[in-house]
Structure formats: C-alpha cells, structure tokens
Amino acid sequence: MSTPKRYERIAFVASAGTEAQAALAQLTAMYGNGDPAEADVVVALGGDGLMLQTLHEHMRTGKPIYGMHRGTVGFLMNEFSIHDLHARLAAARESLINPLLMRATDMAEVIHIHHAINEVALFRQTNQAARLRILIDEQERMHDLIADGVLVATPAGSTAYNLSVQGPIIPINAALLAITPISAFRPRRWPGALLPNTAYVTIEVLEADKRPVAAAADHDEVRDVRRVEVLSDRTISMRMLFDPGHGLEERILREQFGP
C-alpha cells in the first residue's frame, strides 16, 4: 500500500536549542524544508513555547501544525522521530483550537487587542494585591476579588498556568472556559468557576492608580490596565495534529489521574 500524500509538502520550524537545531538539520536533509506559506503542514521542533509561537504565527492561515518534542516542556508535542514522517502525518488526528480574544483598555484609554491560546491573565504590578470586579455577560458576579490576579483559560491551556494555580483541568472538546484566581486573599476560599465558552468576561481593575495591574494574553503583555474583556474567538480555528492515542483529549484525561 502506498503512503498517503495528504501532507506531502512540509515546512520545518525549530527553536534555538541544540537538540531542536540538530533535529532540524536531520529532517531537512531527509524531507526538504518548504516555505510555510506553500507547505501542506508545518512541523514545529522544540517545546510548548515554540508550539504556542508557531500557532500564533499561523493563527489565521488554517495551516495544520504538528509538533515534535525537542525542547523542555512538551505537553503539546508528539514524540520525536526522524522515521516515516509522511506516514505519521497522514495518520495523525486533528484537534481544533479556538483562541481567546483579549481587549485590554489601559489607564490612558488606549485599547490593546491580542489573542491567547492558553490563557488571559491579570497580575498585580506592585507589592499591593489587585482589586478586581468580575462580570460575566455584563452581569456582576464578583464585586471585589482581592488577589495577586486572575486568569481565564481555554481547555488547551487548562493544564498550563491554570493548573499550577489549582484551576480545573478541562477536556479539550468541552465547551468551557475556566476563570481561576491567583493567590486569592478575599474571598479566601473562592476556587474560581467554569463558564460556557460563549461567555463574555469583563474584569475591571478597582483602585487602578494605587494597585496597578498588567494583563497578558499568552506572551503579549499590557501594563497598567483598567478593564479587560475576554471571549472565545470562534472566527479562528487552529488545527493541531497528534499521533493516534496521544492527542490532547488523551493527554488531558491522563493528567487528571497522575503521572
């Protein structure tokens, strides 16, 4: 049986690490390295940081992204192998990811718009805790959260920073978002909430002059914000490819039952 040619033209991208660069040289010698704009698939060599960077770069192209782990953290990556890459790509399963859209208004009334694949997070900028008001679909749900910050996470990002601050793990196909406090002081035991992925989240910064807050959509940061609006951007669907049995659904399920 001939190998399926669904993803014949491959473009490789790699992080700057020694392992990733060595893998890039090996794979380029074996399979060539096309222009990402013309390729059928982009193969990212590195860790989760490179995968997020690659997804951001190709967010609006609909280009499928297949990662191989040649970095530090590799939750979003497949195992590395130089063999039978065309066959692996043809057999890979696809997961669709919708990013978050962040609209942050700073103290000068300048509006900043960024996308996030993992989470939108608000952090205190000084030694004083942030004071935040949370509205869901324009209805106040928390009058005054005093904390180091708060984040809104996608299912894909629920096992990243969200999990580190005790947020819930969300199955990748669940139509949910997580809103999770970061070191909450008042209300001290608020665990956060699960929201439908249609929710329109607004976070207002109280006493913004006295208690400045920054907002970050993945790696894009805005300082001195006074209001941050977050929603799932259904106009964008990113295509991630995973080897059978090792997709995000399986990894997120496995994560809930320990190593």
Chain segment 151-182, per-residue pLDDT in tens? 999 988 998 899 999 999 888 778 999 999 99
Q: Of residues 35, 48, 106, 218, which has the active-site annotation? A: 48
How far is Cα 195 from Cα 139, in angstroms, rounded to an integer? 13
Q: What is the pLDDT of residues 11-33, one digit of tens each?
A: 999 999 999 999 999 999 999 99
Number of other residues whose CB lies within 10 A of the CB of residue 1: 3
Determine the average pLDDT of the residues in 35-57: 94
- Confidence check: pLDDT of 113 > 80: yes
Length of the chain: 259
- Confidence check: pLDDT of 204 > 80: yes
Q: What is the pLDDT of residues 125-135, one digit of tens each?
A: 999 999 999 99
Q: Which CATH number fits domain 10-97+236-255: 3.40.50.10330, 3.40.50.2300, 3.10.105.10, 3.40.50.300?
A: 3.40.50.10330
Active site residue 48: yes
Higher confidence at residue 170 or residue 140? 140
Name the E strands within 40-175: 41-46, 65-69, 93-97, 100-106, 111-116, 119-124, 130-136, 139-153
How far is Cα 92 from Cα 258, in angstroms, rounded to an integer? 25
Task: Kindly list the domain boundaries of the chain, sorted by start residue.
Answer: 10-97+236-255, 100-232
Determine the average pLDDT of the residues in 67-79: 88
How far is Cα 132 from Cα 147, in angstroms, rounded to an integer? 8
* Residue located via tokens 């942030």: 130
Q: Which CATH number fits domain 100-232: 2.60.200.30, 3.40.50.10470, 1.10.3720.10, 1.10.10.60?
A: 2.60.200.30
How far is Cα 49 from Cα 135, in angstroms, rounded to an integer? 31
pLDDT at 259: 57
Q: Which of 131, 91, 98, 87 is nearest to 247 (CA)?
A: 91
Largest CA distance in the chain: 69
**CB proximity list for 254: less than 8 A, separation 6 or greater:** none
- Confidence check: pLDDT of 141 > 50: yes
pTM here is: 0.86
pLDDT at 1: 41
How far is Cα 131 from Cα 124, in angstroms, rounded to an integer? 9
Identity at 128, one-letter amino acid code: Q
Identity at 164, one-letter amino acid code: S
- Confidence check: pLDDT of 244 > 50: yes
DSSP state of 13: E
